């Protein structure tokens, strides 16, 4: 059988200028390699943001292509560790979107008051800023003593940081502003002391918090909750994985339980949309069937 070999004109420019389709092949190969070599599954993460994070790593390592990064990652576990942090850490702030906390106080707290015991799941809690924010809110509403917050993340490193309860002191002004606009009832500075070059938050805020590793991509439900908070985490997943995680949340919420999403996330096009009613303009949904 004669095989005709086509002459292919070499492409001009470096790999960074490669056409989009080839780039997608390279990204997918890299993520597949990471999964098969190390078991971390980023294959269903939102392409646009994962591409950006990969290119940032490529540039800071002085590399020029996705393939070059692939080679390093597959052969050097240290490079995988760096990439794991790049891909799995989500940046957040205390009382991010103060309007959400105002709505939570107004719409959700009255419902929670009727429960003898409240179980909350903070899914994808990252370095814990929003966990501490919720603990403060529950405390101020007099519900903390009968609450338990399960704070989970895929990444053990960020969980350790969250457990430590130390946050950068230079963010405290911003967090204080957020706290006030979030309807804070006390003085924000009462919750922390300046220590170890950071702001150490009161251990009383974490006494009812259980930090543990949980992978939204692969792990199952581990309990039934009254409230699930997962804000600005699903935006890093593709639609298919979003649907899977919504299934997990639906199965983990008690009847009339509340699901809190980020302000630019929605339930649109999700199979479970009709099982919830939106209780606030902020993205707070109540399971009704």
Tokens encoding 193: 């002391």
Single out the residue of 65, 67, 90, 254 in contact with other proteins (rule: CB under 8 A): 90
Residue 236 is a binding residue for other proteins (CB under 8 A): yes
Least distance in Å: CB of 142 to other proteins?
A: 28
Q: Where does this chain touch other proteins (CB under 8 A) — which range of 88-96, 127-135, 144-152, 200-208?
A: 88-96
- Contact predicate 225/123, CB 8 Å: no
Residue in the block written with tokens 């339930």 = 267
d(CA 247, CA 251): 6
Distances (CA, A) of 72 to 38, 80, 113, 169, 200: 13, 8, 53, 36, 38
From 100, 178, 110, 165, select the one nearest 143 (Cα to Cα).
110
Residue 48 is a binding residue for other proteins (CB under 8 A): yes
Single out the residue of 1, 3, 5, 91 in contact with other proteins (rule: CB under 8 A): 91
Residue 235 is a binding residue for other proteins (CB under 8 A): yes
Q: Map the footprint of other proteins across residues 4-33, applying CB under 8 A.
A: 17, 19-20, 23
Q: Where does this chain touch other proteins (CB under 8 A) — which range of 73-81, 94-102, 128-136, 248-256?
A: 94-102
Residue 228 β-bridge partners = 121, 259
Single out the residue of 11, 36, 52, 113 in contact with other proteins (rule: CB under 8 A): 52
Least distance in Å: CB of 47 to other proteins?
A: 5
Q: Map the footprint of other proteins across residues 245-264, applying CB under 8 A.
A: 262-264
**Helix, strand or coil for residue 277?**
strand
Residue 232 is a binding residue for other proteins (CB under 8 A): yes
- Contact predicate 125/153, CB 8 Å: yes
Instruction: Tell me whether residue 52 or residue 195 sits nearer to other proteins (CB atom).
Output: 52
Q: Map the footprint of other proteins across residues 171-210, applying CB under 8 A.
A: 181
Q: Map the footprint of other proteins across residues 53-72, applying CB under 8 A.
A: 53
Least distance in Å: CB of 193 to other proteins?
A: 27
Residue in the block written with tokens 């600005």 = 232
Neighbours of 230 (CB within 10 A): 22
Single out the residue of 11, 75, 195, 239 in contact with other proteins (rule: CB under 8 A): 239
Least distance in Å: CB of 16 to other proteins?
A: 8
Query: Residue count at the site for other proteins (CB under 8 A)?
Result: 31
Residue 234 is a binding residue for other proteins (CB under 8 A): yes
DSSP state of 154: S
Contacts made by residues 113-118, CB under 8 angstroms, sequence distance 24+: 113/143, 115/146, 115/226, 116/146, 117/146, 117/147, 117/148, 118/143, 118/146, 118/147, 118/148, 118/226, 118/227
Which residues contact other proteins (rule: CB under 8 A)?
Answer: 17, 19-20, 23, 46-49, 51-53, 90-92, 96-98, 181, 232, 234-236, 239, 242, 262-266, 268-269
């Amino acid at each position: 059988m004669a095989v005709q070999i086509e002459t292919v004109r070499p492409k001009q420019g470096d790999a960074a200028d490669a056409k989009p389709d080839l780039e997608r092949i390279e990204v997918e190969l890299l993520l597949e390699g990471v999964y098969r070599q190390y078991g971390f599954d980023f294959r269903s993460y939102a392409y646009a943001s994962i591409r950006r994070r990969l290119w940032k790593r490529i540039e800071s390592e002085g590399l020029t292509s996705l393939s070059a990064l692939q080679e390093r990652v597959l052969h050097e576990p240290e490079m995988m560790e760096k990439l794991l942090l790049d891909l799995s850490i989500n940046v957040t702030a205390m009382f991010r979107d103060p309007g959400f906390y105002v709505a939570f106080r107004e719409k959700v707290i009255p419902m929670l008051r009727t429960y003898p015991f409240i179980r909350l799941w903070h899914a994808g809690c990252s370095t814990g800023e929003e966990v501490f924010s919720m603990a403060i809110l529950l405390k101020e509403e007099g519900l903390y003593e009968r609450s338990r917050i399960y704070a989970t993340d895929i990444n053990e490193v960020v969980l350790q940081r969250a457990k430590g309860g130390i946050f950068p002191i230079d963010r405290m002004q911003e967090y204080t502003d957020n706290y006030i606009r979030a309807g804070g009832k006390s003085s924000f500075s009462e919750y922390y002391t300046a220590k170890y070059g950071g702001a150490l938050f009161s251990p009383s805020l974490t006494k009812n918090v259980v930090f543990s590793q949980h992978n939204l991509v692969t792990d199952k439900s581990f309990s039934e909750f009254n409230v699930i908070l997962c804000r600005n985490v699903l935006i890093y997943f593709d639609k298919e994985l979003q649907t899977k995680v919504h299934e997990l949340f639906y199965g983990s919420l008690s009847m009339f339980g509340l699901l809190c999403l980020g302000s630019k996330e929605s339930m649109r096009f999700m199979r479970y949309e009709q099982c919830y009613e939106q209780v606030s303009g902020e993205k707070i949904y109540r399971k009704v069937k």
